[in-house]
Amino acid sequence: MSRYHARLAAAQATMQAKGVDALCVSVGSDLPYLTGYAAMASERLTMLVVPAEADPVLVIPQLEAPRVRTDHDLAIRAWMEWEDPIAIVADLLGGASAVAVGDQTWSTFTLALQTASSAAVWVSAGAIMRDLRIRKSSDEVDDLREAARAADRVIDELGHVRFSGRSERDVGREIAERLLAAGHDTVDFTIVAAGPHGASPHHELSDRMIQHGEAVVVDIGGHRNGYASDTTRMFIVGDAPVGFDDAYTVLRAAQAAACEFVAPGVTASAVDAVARSIIEDAGYGDLFIHRLGHGIGMDTHEDPYLVAGNDTVLEAGMAFSVEPGIYVPDAWGMRIEDIVAVTEDGMESLNETPRTYRIVT
Ligand code: ZN
Ligand code: ZN
Ligand code: ZN
C-alpha cells in the first residue's frame, strides 16, 4: 500500500468513527498529504471528494490534470471550462448527510457547495486531518530533519557574513539565495530584525541600515521536499547592547530546559510553562509576548501549538518549534528557535547549530 493509500484509508476510518459521510479538500496541505498533488489556488475549483466508504475522486480543471502524478490510481474527474465544478462535486456527494470541508477551502466554493447540497450538515475537516497529520511518520521526520539541516547550513554560513552597513533587505536577499543553494525548493520567510526592529517578532525586512552594536534576530525558513524548516539564531554586530547578555543567559536556559522537558506523555502547555517560568522568575516575563512554539510539517505552523491551555498530550512523531523570546520595545529583541521531534523516550532536536550568539562584523 502506498503512503497515499494508507493515508486515505486512515482518513476514511476517522470519518467513519466521527460519522462523516464525505470529506472535501481543496487548496492547502491536506490535499498533497492525501494524494501527493497540490492544488493551484485559483478561481478554478480543484477538490478531492473522499466518501467514507467508496473510492475518492479528484475534481480538477482539465488544463491542470496533466500535473497530477500518475503513480497511484486516483480517479480523476477533469472538468472543462464550460462545465460547473460545483454541480460535479454536489453530484459526487449524492445524499451525504454530513460533509467535512477543508479548513483552507475558499469561502466562494464552500458557500456555493452548501447551497448546492443544502440538505447536508457541513463541518470542518480540521478535526479529521489534524489527527492524521499531527503524528509524523519516520519518513516525514526524515524530511523535516533534512529541511532543518539545510537551514542550519545557512545559519553557519551567516557567521562569516558582513552585517554592518547593509540593509536588512540586502541581508535577507542573501539569506534567500543561500536557503535555495542549501537545498530548499522554496523560501518562505527571511526575518532580519536589527536593533529596535528585533522587538517585533514578525518584523518584515526594511531598508534600515544595520549598525555596529546591534543585536540582529535572524529567523529563516523554507520548504524542502514538501516539508518546512524554521530556525532562529542571534547575531551581534561587534558588541552586545546594554542588558543583552544577562537576558540572553536566561533565554538560553529557558530554551534548553523546555527542549529537555519534551517527551511523550507531557502536555503541550507544560512545555510552554517550563520556559515561561524561567523567564518570569528572572523578571522578563512581560517581555515574552508569544506562545513557546508551533507544530511544523507540510505547513510551517500547524498543530500542536505550545501554548497555555493546550492540553494535547505529546506523542512520538509530533514535531514543533521551541522558540522563546525576550523583546524590549525600542531597544532590542532576542529569540532562539529549534525544531524538535518527539521520540519514543524523549526528543530529537532537528536543528543542531550552536545556541550561542554569533559575533559578526
Ligand atoms: Zn513565527
Ligand atoms: Zn521562526
Ligand atoms: Zn517558528
pLDDT in tens, 240-296: 999 999 999 999 999 999 999 999 999 999 999 999 999 999 999 999 999 999 999
Joined together, the cell numbers standing for residue 73 give 490510481
Helix (H) or strand (E) holding 328: strand 325-328
Cis check: omega of the bond before 304, within 30 degrees of 0: yes
Expressed in angstroms and rounded, the spacing between residue 12 Cα and the centre of ligand 1 is: 33
Judged against a pLDDT cut of 80, whether residue 106 lies above it is answered with: yes
pLDDT at position 62: 96
The residue count for the chain: 361
Expressed in angstroms and rounded, the spacing between residue 219 Cα and the centre of ligand 2 is: 5
- Mean pLDDT value across the chain: 96
**Rounded to 5°, angle at Cα 224 from 271 and 322:** 10
Judged against a pLDDT cut of 70, whether residue 1 lies above it is answered with: no
Given a contact cutoff of 8 angstroms between Cβ atoms, the answer to whether 351 and 152 are in contact is yes
Q: Which ligand does the CA of 335 lie closest to? A: 2
pLDDT at position 141: 98
Judged against a pLDDT cut of 80, whether residue 360 lies above it is answered with: yes
Expressed in angstroms and rounded, the spacing between residue 233 Cα and the centre of ligand 2 is: 9
Given a contact cutoff of 8 angstroms between Cβ atoms, the answer to whether 52 and 12 are in contact is yes
Helix (H) or strand (E) holding 234: strand 231-237
CA-based end-to-end distance of the chain? 54
Residues of the chain with CATH 3.40.350.10: 3-133
CA contacts within 13 A on the Cβ side of 180: 8
pTM: 0.94
Q: What CATH number was assigned to the domain covering residues 138-360?
A: 3.90.230.10
Judged against a pLDDT cut of 70, whether residue 229 lies above it is answered with: yes
36 sits in the region (left: phi over 0; alpha: psi -120 to 50; else beta) called left
Return the SS3 of 358. Answer: strand
Expressed in angstroms and rounded, the spacing between residue 323 Cα and the centre of ligand 3 is: 7
**Rounded to 5°, angle at Cα 22 from 20 and 26:** 125
CA-to-CA distance for 188 and 249, rounded, in angstroms?
A: 30
pLDDT tier at 153, thresholds 50, 70, 90: very high
Joined together, the cell numbers standing for residue 266 give 507531557
Q: How far is CA 62 from the centre of its chain?
A: 31
Expressed in angstroms and rounded, the spacing between residue 86 Cα and the centre of ligand 1 is: 36
CATH architecture of 3-133: 3-Layer(aba) Sandwich (3.40)
Helix (H) or strand (E) holding 171: helix 168-181
DSSP readout, 179-232? HHHTT-SEEEEEEEEEGGGGGSTTPPP-SPBP-TT-EEEEEEEEEETTEE--EE
pLDDT at position 312: 98
pLDDT tier at 73, thresholds 50, 70, 90: confident
CA-to-CA distance for 288 and 227, rounded, in angstroms?
A: 28
Return the SS3 of 60. Answer: strand
Residues of the chain with CATH 3.90.230.10: 138-360
Expressed in angstroms and rounded, the spacing between residue 231 Cα and the centre of ligand 3 is: 7
Mean of pLDDT values over 171-191:
98
CB environment 130-153: b (16+ within 10 A), e (fewer): bebbbebeeebbebbbbbbbbbbe
